[in-house]
Amino acid sequence: MSSLEIRGVQKTWQAPGGLQVEAIREVSLSVSSGEFVAILGPSGCGKSTLLELCAGLEPVSGGAILIDGEKVAGPNPKAVMVFQEHALFPWLNVESNVVFGLKMKGESHNERWRRGREVLERVKLVKFAKHYPHQLSGGMKQRVAIARALVGSPEFILMDEPFAALDFQTRVLMQQFLLEVWSGFKSTILFVTHQIDEAVLLADRVVVMSAAPGRVLEEIAIDLPRPRRMTDPAFNDYRVRLTSHMEREVMRAAEVQ
Amino acid sequence: MLRAATAALLPWLAVVALWELAAARGWMTTTLFPPPSSFIQFAIESDFRVGFGKEGMTIPVAILASAFRVVAGLFLGFIAAVATGILVSMSRVASAAVLPIVRGLAPIAPIAWIPIGIIVFGIGNPTAVFVVFTGVYFLLTLSTVAAVQSVDPRLVKTARTFGASRSQVWVWVIFPAVLPQVFTMLRINFFAAWMAVLAAEMVGLKNGVGMIVILGREMFNPNLIMLGICIIGVTGYAVDALLLFVQRKILWWRPAE
C-alpha cells in the first residue's frame, strides 16, 4: 500500500528584487493507493507548484510531503511527473524517450529494450518506436509521455494539465486512454486541470483550490460509475456545483490582480 | 537533392554564359577579366599545377589544404566552445570570472589574429587552424552560454523527475539541447573564418587557394587570379553545403517547435 500525505504545505517564491510571492498557503491532502485525484483551480492558483513539490523538484517552504511515510527531499522514482506537450526530448526517438529514466538508473541495454517494448505494446505505440517526437501528433506525443512515466512502475503519476494543449477530439480520446491505462497499471494519479468536465470525468475525488495563494477549498468525491457520460444528469449536478466554486475563485483572482 | 543542385547551378550557368558572351563580343577586357573558357583551359594546359619551385603546388592539394584548415579550425573551435560554455554555465563564480573576458575577445575579427598566429606558430597549418579557431571560439562560447540559459526548463524537470542526477542533466539534456543553436552560429561565422584562412594564405602561408590568387598577382597572370577566385567561391560553397548537411541531418532538432 502506498500513500501520499501533504501536511500543511506552504510555498513562497523568492521573486527578483527581494519580493516574496506566496504561491501556496497551508495545503493538506491525503491520497490513498490506486486513487485518481483531480486538483481543480483557476490559473495561477499554485496547483502546478503543488505537483512539483510532490515530485521533489522544488523544496517546500513549510509543512511536509510524505510518500509512504518518508519525507520528500528530492526527485523520487516513486512519484514521476508528466507535463504538457513538448516535454519529450526532441533528439531521442520514442523508444529512447520512454526508457530515459531506466538509462539514468543504469539499467542494462537489454533490460531497457525489454521494458520499453512492454510499455509501448500496452500503449499501442510499438509501430512508432523509431519515430521522433516531431513526427508525431499531439495526442501521440502525450501517449509517449505517459508511457515514459509508466515504464518505471511508479506508485504515483503526477500530471500537470497534460491534455490542455490538445484539441477537443484528441483530448476526449486521451482521457479514455488514460482511464484504460490507469485501470491496467494501478498507479495512483494526481491530475491537475482547470477544466471542470475533465475533473468530473476522470477523478474519484476532486480537490478545489482557491485563487492565489492556493488553499484547498473543498474536496468532492465523484460518486459516479465508470464509464461516465457528460450528458448524464448526475454528471451535470457535479458540474454545476464545481462551476459555482470556480466562478467565485476566478472573480476573486481577478480582484487580487 | 539532384533537383536542388540543378536549381543552384542554373543561375550560375546564366552568369557564365553572359560572361563568355561579353568576352567574345569584346564588351570587357579579357586580358584583365579572362572568361572561364580561358582560365579553365589555362588550368588544364598547366596540368593543374601553379607556381614554380618552392612555391609550386597542384590545385587539388591547394583546395584540400585550405578546406582542411578551415574545417579543422571550426571543428576544434566548436568542441572547445561547447565544452567551455557548458563548464562555465555550471558555476556562477566561473561565469562571473570568465565571461567578461570572453565578451572582450569575441568581437576581434579572425583576420586580426593572423599576426599573432604567425608569431606564435610560424608559417604553416597550425597558424591557419589557430586563426579559424580563435575567430569562432569566443563567439561560440558566448552562444553556448546563451543556449544553456534558453534550454526549456520542462526538459530539465522531466529529466530530474525520471531520476537524472544534476550531472546527468548536463550530459543528457543540456548538452544535446544546445548543440543545434551553437552549430547555427558556427555556420553563420563560417564565412568570416574562410576569409581569415584565405587572408592568412595570402600574407604568408605556403600553398592553399589564397596563395593561388597571390601567385597570379605576382606573375601578372589574370587567368590565375580568376581561377583562384572561382576556386575560393566553389570550395567555400562546398564547405558551407557540408555544414548545412550536418545541421539538417545530424543536429536537426530545435529547442521549441
The DSSP letter of residue B115 is: H
Site of grid cell 454528471: A235
Alpha carbons A256 and B96: distance in angstroms, whole number: 39
Residues 6+ apart with CB under 8 A from A12: A20, A21, A22, A23, A61
* Predicted pLDDT at B53: 67
Judge contact between B139 and B80, C-beta under 8 A: no
Q: Please, which pLDDT band fits residue B4 given cuts at 50, 70 and 90? A: confident
Backbone phi, psi, residue A192, to 5°: -90, 130
- In the predicted model, is pLDDT for residue B145 greater than 90? yes
- In the predicted model, is pLDDT for residue B56 greater than 80? no
Of A102, A156, A103, A149, nearest to A122 by C-alpha is A149
> For the sheet containing A70-71, what is the strand order?
A20-32, A3-14, A62-67, A70-71
* Interface contact flag, A86 B160, Cβ < 8 Å: no
Judge contact between B151 and B160, C-beta under 8 A: no
User: Virtual CA dihedral for A58, A59, A61, A65, nearest 10 degrees?
Assistant: 110
**Span of A233-242, A248-257, B175-184, B218-227 with lowest mean pLDDT:** A248-257
* Predicted pLDDT at A44: 75
Q: Please, which pLDDT band fits residue B88 given cuts at 50, 70 and 90? A: very high
* Predicted pLDDT at B256: 46
* Interface contact flag, B161 A87, Cβ < 8 Å: no
Q: Please, which pLDDT band fits residue B55 given cuts at 50, 70 and 90? A: low
Backbone phi, psi, residue A169, to 5°: -60, -50
Residue-wise DSSP of B142-154: HHHHHHHHTS-HH
Query: Which three cell numbers mark B80?
Result: 572547445
* Interface contact flag, A89 B155, Cβ < 8 Å: yes
pTM of the model: 0.85
- In the predicted model, is pLDDT for residue B187 greater than 50? yes
Q: What percent of chain A has pLDDT over 70?
A: 98
Specify the CATH number for B55-250; select among 1.10.940.10, 1.10.3720.10, 3.10.20.600, 3.40.50.2300: 1.10.3720.10
* Predicted pLDDT at A190: 95
* Interface contact flag, A87 B154, Cβ < 8 Å: yes
Please state the domain extents for chain A: 3-256
Q: pLDDT tens digit string along A23-66? A: 898 899 999 889 999 999 887 778 889 999 999 999 999 999 99
Q: pLDDT tens digit string along A82-137? A: 987 678 999 999 999 999 999 999 999 999 999 999 999 988 899 999 999 999 98
Residue-wise DSSP of B121-184: H-SSHHHHHHHHHHHHHHHHHHHHHHHHHTS-HHHHHHHHHTT--HHHHIIIIIHHHHHHHHHH
Query: Which three cell numbers mark A166?
Result: 490538445
Alpha carbons B233 and B245: distance in angstroms, whole number: 18
* Predicted pLDDT at A249: 80
Select the residue from B152, B154, B155, B158 to test the A interface by mutation, using most A Cβ atoms within 10 A: B158
Residues 6+ apart with CB under 8 A from B34: B23, B42, B222, B223, B226
- In the predicted model, is pLDDT for residue A178 greater than 80? yes
Residue with the larger pLDDT of the pair A256 and A221: A221
* Predicted pLDDT at A1: 67
Alpha carbons A215 and A45: distance in angstroms, whole number: 8
The DSSP letter of residue A151 is: T
A3-256: what fold? Answer: Rossmann fold (3.40.50)
Picking from B155, B254, B255, the nearest residue to A87 by CB comes out as: B155
Residue B180 to chain A, least CA–CA distance (Å)? 10
Kindly provide the ipTM of the predicted complex, given to two decimals. Answer: 0.88
For residue A133, which amino acid is it? P
- In the predicted model, is pLDDT for residue B257 greater than 50? no
* Predicted pLDDT at B134: 93
Within 10 angstroms of residue B66's Cβ, the number of other Cβ atoms is 28
Distance set, CA A143 to CA A98, A155, A167, B102 (Å) = 10, 18, 15, 44
